[in-house]
Amino acid sequence: MRPAWSVILLTTLLGAGQGLFLALVALDAAGGAGQGFLAGGAALALALLGTGLAASFFHLGRPERAWRSAAMWRTSWLSREVIVLPAFMAAVLAWGAAHYLQPGERALALWLGGAGAVLCLALFLCTGMIYACLKFLQEWHSALTPLNYLLLGGASGLTLAAAFAALGSPGHAGMLSAAALAAGALAWGSRLAALARNARLRPRSTLATAIGVKHPNIAQKAQGFMGGSFNTREFFHGRPREVVRAARWALVALVFPVPALLIALAAGSAPLLWAAFLLQYVGLLAERWLFFAEARHPQNLYYQAIS
């Protein structure tokens, strides 16, 4: 599949914002975090969510009709995501406002945080299932897909929470750093498991089964027309193997090992923690690009050669 940068930014920014919110809600439930710090964290999470949402509009042919995407909520995971996302953003806003405007109303903030956490997990599920429900794309049709969206988003959010805490609540930076290391290791291992699984996959369709001709030697000489088309542009990434290999190594190195080293060396240092988050986010961009690029659409059997 062709990776769309609007969708890559949408999913990675949303994941970081969701993970940050879950980390802040956990801190709030444990007690001890300052109200101003929590309200500021909510504002940062909202900024990430809003930026990701804005990026998604560049993927739409008719942005003014975006509201129609919610119409098929009974059967479409995309429609469910479109409904859950603004509800989650409203919950984050309400939770942050409760801490900022009514710092003494702890019960209200906890209730709002709990509701927001449920919506956050629902959003992770909806986003992951948009891809996992597609049976004809074997690389995506796996329980690892929604799991990786959850784990990678949670890991990046915890790293961001540790960096943010180093500036606004230094006493919590160490605990959040330890949590970020644990979450990062889990997310990295899960994503590597998905890479190993996808490497073992074999296409279910061949040229023979696609055209219904039982012959051992079938070769496509032309795709039927002289130039490219929507099919040749949208269902294959069009990049050389070296680019795909570089993205895979960026995933392997930057999603966890390099950020983990920086977090371990940071000892609460804000610059190192922010560097860890930024490098991890670069790794997530590579991971999400590869997620789309490694999906082999069956229709490419018909478009292997240009006339």
pLDDT of residue 29: 93
pLDDT of residue 290: 96
Contact, 84 vs 122, CB < 8 A? Answer: yes
Angle at 285 between CA 279 and CA 290, to 5 degrees: 130
Q: How far apart are CA 98 and CA 116, in angstroms?
A: 13
More confidently predicted of 155 and 233: 155
Q: To 10 degrees, what angle do helices 5-30 and 144-168 make?
A: 60
Structure tokens at 130: 């948009």
Tens digit of each residue's pLDDT (9 = 90 or more) over 24-79? 999 999 987 889 999 999 999 999 999 999 998 887 777 777 778 888 889 999 99
Domains and CATH numbers, the chain: 5-302 (1.20.1630.10)
Angle at 128 between CA 124 and CA 134, to 5 degrees: 155
Q: Name the most confidently modeled range: 29-33, 158-162, 266-270, 291-295.
A: 158-162
* Amino acid at the residue 268: G
* Amino acid at the residue 64: E
Angle at 18 between CA 13 and CA 22, to 5 degrees: 150
Contact, 194 vs 145, CB < 8 A? Answer: yes
Tens digit of each residue's pLDDT (9 = 90 or more) over 197-232? 999 998 877 778 777 888 888 877 766 666 667 777
pTM for the predicted model, two decimal places: 0.92
Structure tokens at 187: 């997310």
pLDDT of residue 307: 44
Q: What is the mean pLDDT of the chain?
A: 91
Query: What secondary structure letter does DSSP report for 69?
Result: G
